[in-house]
Amino acid sequence: MTAENPAERRQFPGISPRAYEHPADRGALVALRSVPGLPAVLRALSGAVGERRERLLLLASAVKVTPRQFSTVHELRLECAATLDVGPAPEVFVLRNPDPIAMTIGMDTPFLVLSTGLIDLLDTDGLRFTIGHEMGHVLSGHAVYRTLLLHLTSASLNLAWFPIGYWGLRAIQLALEEWYRKSELSCDRAGLLCGQDPAAALRTHALLAGATSTDPEELAEFVAQSREYDAATDIRDSILKLGHLAGRAHPLPALRAAELQRWAAGEEYAARLRGDYPRRADDPDASFAAEVKAAAGAYRDAVASSKDPLAKLVTAAGGAVADGLSRLRRP
């Protein structure tokens, strides 16, 4: 389905973030959300100082989006917030930077930051997809849990004397990076739900990767790059691929684009557009076991479909997230 104007786009009242979260991301978040008092503990550790500081700095050094300033972005902000039933609509600031950047900051009162480079690069449909992506981060509460994981990572570095040693800590780091990447795939789906235009999402991914043309044939070649990348079966290529992921919080662009296009062509996306989606009101009753099972299934499918001889190592590291969280729930 391609919706060319707001009247044709479906809105999703009361939508739960579980409606778009990648199974690996969703399994981890359901577990974290179920830990009593965890968000309160995290806020006690971090406080609201960080986001207040950043917002004050942006008020003094960037442009706050309003009906008069960046009016198109303002309209897209309201539109995407209404589509995903996010209220109140987060503020948006535009920062002078030639690089295409979009981020969500804050836990209690999140706000979005877009760069001038991003706004210059994308058309209205691309901006809608990108702002919808960031609204996904807001609705999923990723800032809260990402901050928690950063705290845990920082703490682990001070516990190098633990029996698990360096390689144990390295495995934890790989698992956390894998979760970061899956959360980005989740929010790409949120962006697609806002725009409901897979072609616009593909153009955005290609442009962010460096494309200078959005000709359909060239976009098809861009997606084909992911198949060529996956088809490399030489063990030397596999080792190089592992290096590509080290320290990356975002999926590789061509692979990311292909992943979203597969979701757009699938039944789950079609069901969302029909109005078949989980509601926030049902989140407290979400089955932890079912979400962990779905996460494990997603990793098994990734291993089964991959031709890469070392892909199992990366997906196993990501699968350790679900396994570790399931252990937390045991008495």
Confirm whether 156 is domain-assigned.
yes
Q: Splitting the chain (331 residues) into consecutive groups of 10 residues, what average pLDDT does each group show?
A: 64 96 76 62 58 90 98 98 96 98 87 97 98 95 70 55 53 65 92 98 96 93 87 64 63 89 96 96 77 64 57 52 50 50
Confirm whether 298 is domain-assigned.
yes
Confirm whether 134 is domain-assigned.
yes
Confirm whether 97 is domain-assigned.
yes
pLDDT of residue 129: 98
Q: Which of 71, 19, 66 is nearest to 194 (CA)?
A: 19
* Number of folded domains that form the chain: 1
pLDDT of residue 241: 60
pLDDT of residue 1: 43
pTM: 0.80
Spatial contact of 279 and 16, defined as CB atoms under 8 Å apart: yes
Print the domain residue range for 76: 6-328
Confirm whether 1 is domain-assigned.
no
Confirm whether 26 is domain-assigned.
yes
pLDDT of residue 260: 96
Enumerate the H helices of 141-275 as residue ranges. 142-157, 165-195, 198-209, 216-231, 235-245, 253-264, 267-273
Task: Look up residue 3 and give its two tokens.
Answer: 């919706």
SS3 220: helix
Confirm whether 308 is domain-assigned.
yes
Q: Cis peptide leading into 88, omega within 30 of 0?
A: yes
